[in-house]
Amino acid sequence: MKPRKQLIDAAVANGSIDRMNMLLSAAHLLNCEANCLVEEASDLMTENGLLLGDLKKLHNDFVRVADKYFKEFATLVTTDTAKMDLFSDLDGFDSAFREWAKVPNDWKPKDVPSNETDL
């Protein structure tokens, strides 16, 4: 078995490390976006009394795991420049994704008059 340094040097030389960094960065942006969308949906479910039962439990499980993931990933982003680059990338990706998915960020619920007979 090759020593670890040799393996890393070979992966750097053949471009695998650069490719891995790009794939993990892209995956992280997708995870950030997915987390934001799930949180927005859960806020709507909560506001409308729809986050119930197993869905509520599974959502809470998801949030705990996502928090652990993002906390661990944050240890890899060590400089202020890298942090600002990440936020800039996420803002740009979020804007482009929301346009593509037709889920604008500035959505507001319709103002529906209440029906007093529903009380």
- Into how many domains does the chain fold? 1
Predicted local distance difference test score (pLDDT) of residue 1: 72
pLDDT at 115 over 80: no
In a domain, 35, yes or no: yes
Determine what percent of the chain is predicted with pLDDT higher than 90: 74
pLDDT tens digits, one per residue of 20-75:
999 998 999 999 999 999 999 999 999 999 989 999 999 999 999 999 999 998 89
In a domain, 116, yes or no: no
In a domain, 89, yes or no: yes
CA distance 90 to 30: 9
In a domain, 8, yes or no: no
- Name 18's Cβ contacts closer than 8 Å, sequence gap at least 6: 12
Burial 46-78 (b: 16+ CB within 10 A, else e): eeeeebeeeeeeebeeeeeebeeeeeeeeeeee
- Domain span including residue 77: 24-106
In a domain, 41, yes or no: yes
- The structure's pTM equals 0.79
CA distance 107 to 99: 12
Confidence of residue 11 (pLDDT cuts 50, 70, 90): very high
Determine what percent of the chain is predicted with pLDDT higher than 70: 97
